C-alpha cells in the first residue's frame, strides 16, 4: 500500500477507479472547498472508508498533502497490447510516448500530464534507471497518471522493435539531430522517444529509431528540459494530425 496526496491526485484516482482504494484521510479542520466535497462524494459512492486525522499525520505523508490523502494499492501498469487497444478503440493511429531513463519525478509527471492532455494512447518506460509511477509522480502529473496507460518494460530497445513491428514510426528527440521536428511528417502512427535530463536518448535507441529530430533552439540557452522538449514535440505532432 502507498499514500497518494494532494487534492488533484486524490480526486483523479477516485475518478479513474483503476486501482484498489482502501481509505480516504481528511485532515481535521480542512476547509469545505468544492473539490473536497467532490472527493468526499466520490469516496462515498465507492464505499471508501473515511478517516478524520490530525493535520500533522498528513504532513508526515507529504508537506504537499493539502489536507487529504488516499491509501491505495499498487499502480496498475498497462501492457503494450492495452495501449494499442486504446488506439484501436478510438479509431486513431497509435500515438505513444517512450521515456528513456527519465529519473526526475517532476519531469516524468509533467510529461504524463501533457501526454494525457494531448490524447496520447500510452507511455512506455523501462524498469532500469527510470523512475516508476510513484505518489510523487502522480502528484506532479496532477492526477493524470491515474488515467494514462503506462507500460513498464524490461528492455526498451525490444519494446521499440515491437512497436515498429505494428507499423508505427519511431522518432527520437536529440539536440544534435539534423532535422527539426517541424520538418518531419508526424501525422501517422507515431512513437516519440524523449531521453533523460542529462544524457538524452541513448545511442542504442537513436539507432533503433526510424528518424531523429531536434527542437530548434534560437536563444542562448543550450537545451530545454525533458518535460518542455517532449511537450513541444507532442503538440507539434498533434497540430499536424489536426491541421
Q: Could you name the CATH architecture of 2-72?
A: 2-Layer Sandwich (3.30)
Torsion angle (degrees, nearest 10) of CA 159, 120, 185, 154: -10
Integer Cα distance of 207 and 230 in angstroms? 19
CA distances from 160 to 101, 187, 206 (A): 14, 19, 11
Domain with CATH 3.40.1280.10 in the chain: 80-241
Integer Cα distance of 170 and 162 in angstroms? 11
Domain with CATH 3.30.1330.30 in the chain: 2-72
pLDDT of residue 222: 65
pLDDT of residue 50: 96
Q: Which fold has domain 80-241?
A: Alpha/beta knot (3.40.1280)
User: Looking at the whole model, is its pTM more than 0.75?
Assistant: yes
Given a cut of 50, the residues of the chain with pLDDT beneath it are none
Amino acid at each position: 500500500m502507498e499514500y497518494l496526496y494532494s487534492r488533484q491526485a486524490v480526486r483523479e484516482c477516485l475518478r479513474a477507479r483503476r486501482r484498489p482504494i482502501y481509505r480516504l484521510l481528511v485532515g481535521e479542520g480542512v476547509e469545505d472547498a468544492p473539490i473536497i466535497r467532490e472527493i468526499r462524494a466520490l469516496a462515498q459512492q465507492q464505499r471508501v472508508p473515511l478517516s478524520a486525522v490530525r493535520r500533522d499525520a498528513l504532513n508526515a505523508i507529504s508537506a504537499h498533502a493539502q489536507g487529504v490523502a488516499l491509501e491505495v494499492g499498487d499502480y496498475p501498469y498497462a501492457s503494450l497490447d492495452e495501449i494499442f487497444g486504446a488506439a484501436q478503440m478510438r479509431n486513431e493511429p497509435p500515438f505513444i510516448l517512450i521515456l528513456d531513463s527519465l529519473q526526475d519525478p517532476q519531469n516524468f509527471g509533467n510529461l504524463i500530464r501533457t501526454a494525457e492532455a494531448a490524447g496520447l494512447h500510452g507511455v512506455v518506460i523501462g524498469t532500469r534507471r527510470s523512475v516508476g509511477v510513484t505518489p510523487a509522480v502522480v502528484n506532479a502529473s496532477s492526477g493524470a497518471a491515474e488515467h494514462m496507460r503506462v507500460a513498464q518494460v524490461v528492455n526498451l530497445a525490444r519494446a521499440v522493435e515491437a512497436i515498429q513491428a505494428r507499423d508505427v514510426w519511431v522518432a527520437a528527440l536529440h539536440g544534435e539531430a539534423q532535422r527539426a521536428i517541424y520538418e518531419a511528417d508526424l501525422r501517422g502512427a507515431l512513437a516519440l522517444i524523449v531521453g533523460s535530463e542529462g544524457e538524452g536518448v541513448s545511442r542504442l535507441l537513436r539507432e533503433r529509431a526510424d528518424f531523429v529530430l531536434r527542437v530548434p533552439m534560437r536563444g542562448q540557452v543550450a537545451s530545454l528540459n525533458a518535460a518542455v522538449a517532449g511537450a513541444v514535440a507532442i503538440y507539434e505532432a498533434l497540430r499536424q494530425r489536426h491541421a
